[in-house]
Structure 1
Amino acid sequence: MPVAVRQRARLPAWLLALVFTTFALATDDYVIAGVLPAVSAGLGVSEAAGGQLVTVFSLAFALGAPVASVVCATWPRRRLLTWALVLFAAANGAAAFTTSYAVLMGLRVLAALAAAAIVPTAYAVATALAPDSGRGRYLALVMGGLTGSLMLGVPIGTWVGGAFGWRATFGLGGLLGLVALVAIRRTLPEPPPADAMPVRERLASLARPRVVLGLLGIVAIVLGSMMLMTYLAPFLRDLAGAGPAALGWVFALAGLAGLVGGQLGGRAADRWGADRALIAGIAGFTGVMGVFTACWLLRPLPLPALLPLLLVWAGVSWWVPPPAQTRLLALAGPAGPQALALNSSAVYVGVSGGGAVGGLVLESHGSGWLPAVAAVVELVALALFWAAGRSR
């Protein structure tokens, strides 16, 4: 292989450090679901109360990300990542020793606020340091840390909790934060200084119709995808008679397919342009939803026969976010880093909306309608991005 090709293919160490950082944060967020019964029993609260540890993390992240992005807009990125990771690791380390539910709730808020400062900054740094022809691919890789946490981090964290107790799971979160901190400090150069746009002008840029429409498009993309993801268990039970054991393998393989799909979506955004890659991803998603709807008419079907379709669905679901983020950056202009923070909040809104809207569809019409409604929502997302592009 020629030297130039090898250099082009080699990923910079700082990018791998950012990927590991998002992996660590997402693992800490999602892993509580795996140790929830043990946490609830250890603190003497109900599982419903224990589940609020997940809710408060998500809420603090969603509210904290845009605020942190505006307040910290001119801070040196490397320093911001350093101190936010210190706070994240300290909050998890303290959580491993607390015996109070209220204290643990407060520590989860601190960890979430640290994550709210880190994740958008990681996206902004990847964008600032990426070559012009690799912006979508670099964003997809950093986002891949989130997917990787579902495939690797959460199972490991759950196993650690089962083997050594739930406190060890929080200790693992703190350890991952420290490893990310060392990796960032050793590899990340200081990115170019952020645009010194006044806060008022920065907020005005984010309030422009094209940015608002783009963010609504992100909400719709995630909402449509999460409608089926959230209720995949009842859908596959009704379609193929799949039980919990089979669903475990489905989720693992879907996570792998999603990781591949995200990388392909990022590459497509670089090679084809964000608009064409976005259209291709949403067209693929809509087509898969149409096939699922047709399969519903032929039920019951054997699960192995549906597996290729499930993998394609997972791949195109994760294909879409990288070009959508790249398009949002273009719409936001100089306020791109703050738009990425609002993008993180929009993702959480979409996740919540997917569960709510999908639940309404499930109760009123049954699981067979989920793919069709999800396809309509994704087409609405495409229309919102089209309107954003035409807005002045």
Structure 2
Amino acid sequence: MSVTVRQIPLWLCTLTLAAFAVQTDDFIIIGVLPDLSRDLHVSEGTAGQLVTVYSLVYALAAPALALLLARIDRKRVLCCALVVFIATNLVVPLVTSFPALMGLRVSAALAAAVVLPAALAAATAAAPPDRRGRYLATVMTGLTGAVLIGVPTGTYIGDAVGWQATFVFAGVLGAVALLLSLVTVPRTPAAVEPAAGVREVLRPVLNRAVLAVLLVTVVTVAGNLAFQTYLAPFLADLASVTRRQLALLLVLSGAGGILGTRLSGRFVDQYGSLRALVTAGGLFCAGMAAFCALWVSRPVPLVPVAALLMWWSAAAWAVPPAIQALMVDRVGPESATQAMALQSSSAYVGAAVGGGLGGALVAVDAGLLPAVAAILVGLALGGAWWAVRSAPTTVNISGASAGPGEAAGAAAGERGARTERGH
């Protein structure tokens, strides 16, 4: 059962807006990549490394910053991080060189690495115990909404005013979230579990099955982001897609992503995490194969491209809930929080790898992007199968094993809080 509109408090909407702002800022480069690279006199492959660096900084900084700021009130942490996020985006119009923009993206990533975890922590602390999972899920809808609304809107703004305006748009979103946070978000106690720090966060990695799932996450996200980051040049070569057409296509792909996420959750509950992951990954690979076939006969009409983009997005967004459920199946309820934190970071490592790989591929031939994406996701599916076959029982970080019934119960208990990101 999901949270209805009437049940959503204003402060929860504010936290969702904060998540929406940082996710929009992460992906917004996709729609303005060609203009940005031209104005800053770098190749599109080089410009795409802005996504790589952003993701890598987030992946490395999020766990460390979470520990460093654990003793501070979550509302204060959230508001301070939003101030940094706003500033780094609003000054982008003053930038005249690529290195300067890269520096600002590093600052924005550091801020985002605090904003999203702080928003989730605030939602957890302030939620009624029986609605905690649903409140977390509500905050995470900001991520999907960024793909459906934020990125297309930023693309339209960039086409009309200039690519710098897209970052200003993200900064304005952050400013609205900050103002609402100051007024609506309740103060919550700090997460004072200090000494459980680094050792407790890292201990799940020592489990072979958990490490396998983390590697599956990295490879899957890398495959998808290698394709997604360079979607604009790929579609321009495939079907001569204009900026405004790209914005519309991003809306359609966002709608496909929401559909895929919802269907994936139901599929996981009914058939299990591994089968859901294999199904979603298989559909993703099929979509990439279809793009490869279209590439051979380019230029192609816009209609089949739009249909395939919705297919790709639905499959890509169906993967994260399945992987997250697979992780919960591996660790049990006591270790789920630490393991999921590591999985979030591993997703950004995958995004960084995918951005770098995609930049190298697009410099050679953009048609290589869907082929390599399919290969990587196929490898990840094999890794997921191995992870389940090699350790069929749940193992928590204390080292105790649980039987299949307990594993299923752990998964069911955690699925209410499952996130929607993949990217």
TM-score by length of structure 2 reads: 0.70
In 2 relative to 1, CA 383–197 (structure 1 residues): closer, same or farther, beyond 3 Å? Answer: farther
- Matched with 2:180 is 183
- Matched with 2:260 is 261
Letter in 2 for 1:282: V
Give, in whole Å, the separation in 2 of the partners of 1:100 and 1:193. Answer: 40
| Structure 1 stretch displaced more, 340-349 or 222-231 | 222-231
Kindly state the Cα deviation for residue 30 of structure 1 after the two structures are TM-superposed: 2.8
1:205 counterpart (178, 184, 203): 203
- Matched with 1:344 is 344
Q: Secondary structure at the match of 1:47?
A: coil
Give, in whole Å, the separation in 1 of the partners of 2:140 and 2:114. Answer: 15
Letter in 2 for 1:21: A
- The answer to whether structure 1 residue 47 and structure 2 residue 45 are counterparts is no
Give, in whole Å, the separation in 2 of the partners of 1:215 and 1:5. Answer: 28
Letter in 2 for 1:146: L
Give, in whole Å, the separation in 2 of the partners of 1:232 and 1:20. Answer: 25
- What per-residue deviation string (whole Å, max 9, x for no partner) do you get for residues 325-362 of structure 1? 35546738666555444333312222344466777799
- Matched with 1:382 is 384
- Matched with 2:275 is 279
Kindly state the Cα deviation for residue 208 of structure 1 after the two structures are TM-superposed: 3.0
In 2 relative to 1, CA 7–75 (structure 1 residues): closer, same or farther, beyond 3 Å? Answer: same
TM-score by length of structure 1 reads: 0.75
Give, in whole Å, the separation in 2 of the partners of 1:234 and 1:37. Answer: 7
Please say if residues 68 and 116 of structure 1, whose CA atoms lie closer than 8 Å, have aligned partners that are also in contact: yes
Structure 1, unpaired ranges of 5+: none
Please say if residues 205 and 332 of structure 1, whose CA atoms lie closer than 8 Å, have aligned partners that are also in contact: no
- What RMSD, in angstroms, separates the aligned Cα atoms of the two structures? 4.5
Give, in whole Å, the separation in 2 of the partners of 1:126 and 1:146. Answer: 15
In 2 relative to 1, CA 122–336 (structure 1 residues): closer, same or farther, beyond 3 Å? Answer: farther
Aligned length: 382
Give, in whole Å, the separation in 1 of the partners of 2:233 and 2:191. Answer: 47
- Matched with 1:321 is 320
- Matched with 1:218 is 217
In 2 relative to 1, CA 236–177 (structure 1 residues): closer, same or farther, beyond 3 Å? Answer: closer
Give, in whole Å, the separation in 1 of the partners of 2:58 and 2:10. Answer: 27
Matches within 5 A, 1:1-392: 10-35=7-32, 45-48=40-43, 53-97=50-94, 103-127=100-124, 138-191=135-188, 193-194=190-191, 196-198=193-195, 199-209=197-207, 210-226=209-225, 229=228, 242-244=239-241, 249-266=248-265, 272=269, 276-277=272-273, 279-287=275-283, 289-290=285-286, 293=289, 304=303, 310-325=309-324, 328=327, 331=331, 339-354=339-354, 369=371, 373-374=375-376, 376-383=378-385, 386=388, 387=390, 390=393, 391=395, 392=399
Give, in whole Å, the separation in 2 of the partners of 1:357 and 1:121. Answer: 31
Give, in whole Å, the separation in 1 of the partners of 2:157 and 2:260. Answer: 29
Letter in 1 for 2:285: M
In 2 relative to 1, CA 205–389 (structure 1 residues): closer, same or farther, beyond 3 Å? Answer: farther
Please say if residues 227 and 370 of structure 2, whose CA atoms lie closer than 8 Å, have aligned partners that are also in contact: no
| Structure 1 stretch displaced more, 281-290 or 106-115 | 281-290
Please say if residues 140 and 322 of structure 1, whose CA atoms lie closer than 8 Å, have aligned partners that are also in contact: no
| Structure 1 stretch displaced more, 285-294 or 181-190 | 285-294
Give, in whole Å, the separation in 2 of the partners of 1:164 and 1:295. Answer: 31
Kindly state the Cα deviation for residue 278 of structure 1 after the two structures are TM-superposed: 5.4
Give, in whole Å, the separation in 2 of the partners of 1:297 and 1:57. Answer: 32
- What per-residue deviation string (whole Å, max 9, x for no partner) do you get for residues 168-195 of structure 1? 4443332211111123333333456535
Kindly state the Cα deviation for residue 281 of structure 1 after the two structures are TM-superposed: 4.3
Kindly state the Cα deviation for residue 203 of structure 1 after the two structures are TM-superposed: 3.9
Give, in whole Å, the separation in 2 of the partners of 1:255 and 1:185. Answer: 30
Kindly state the Cα deviation for residue 68 of structure 1 after the two structures are TM-superposed: 0.8
| Structure 1 stretch displaced more, 205-214 or 105-114 | 205-214
Kindly state the Cα deviation for residue 378 of structure 1 after the two structures are TM-superposed: 4.0
Please say if residues 91 and 111 of structure 1, whose CA atoms lie closer than 8 Å, have aligned partners that are also in contact: yes
Please say if residues 218 and 381 of structure 1, whose CA atoms lie closer than 8 Å, have aligned partners that are also in contact: no
Identity of aligned residues (%): 39
In 2 relative to 1, CA 200–55 (structure 1 residues): closer, same or farther, beyond 3 Å? Answer: closer
Give, in whole Å, the separation in 1 of the partners of 2:235 and 2:95. Answer: 40
- What per-residue deviation string (whole Å, max 9, x for no partner) do you get for residues 81-115 of structure 1? 11111221122234444566655443332221111
Give, in whole Å, the separation in 2 of the partners of 1:54 and 1:34. Answer: 12
In 2 relative to 1, CA 115–227 (structure 1 residues): closer, same or farther, beyond 3 Å? Answer: closer
